[in-house]
Amino acid sequence: MEAEYLRHGVPLADYQLTRADHSRQHEAVQVHEWLQRHVVQAPRWSDKHGEQMQDLLGPPTPAWELQRWRLRLYCGHVIEATRLRKNPRPDGALGDKECCPECGLDPDVIVAFEPLRAVAAPPPDKRSRMPSHSARKPPGDRRSKAELVAENEALRAELDTLRDQA
Domain identity same for 65 and 139: no
Query: 10-residue block means of pLDDT along the chain (166 residues)?
Result: 83 95 95 92 90 90 94 96 92 83 95 94 67 53 78 83 79
Do the beta carbons of residue 149 and residue 125 sit within 8 Å?
no
pTM listed for this prediction? 0.68
Q: How many CB atoms lie within 10 A of CB 134?
A: 11
Do 153 and 80 share a structural domain?
no
Q: Give the three-state DSSP class for 36.
A: helix
Domain membership flag for residue 3: no
Do 28 and 109 sit in the same domain of this protein?
yes
Residues 6+ apart with CB under 8 A from 102: 75, 77, 79
Range of the domain at 141: 131-165
* Number of domain units in the chain: 2
Please state, in angstroms and rounded to a whole number, the distance separating the CA atoms of residues 102 and 72.
Answer: 12
Q: Where are the beta strands (DSSP E) in the chain?
A: 66-73, 78-84, 97-98, 108-118
Residue type, position 152, single letter: N
Is residue 102 a part of any domain in this protein?
A: yes
- Residues 136 and 114 both lie in one domain: no
Residue pair 25/91 in contact by the 8 Å Cβ criterion: no
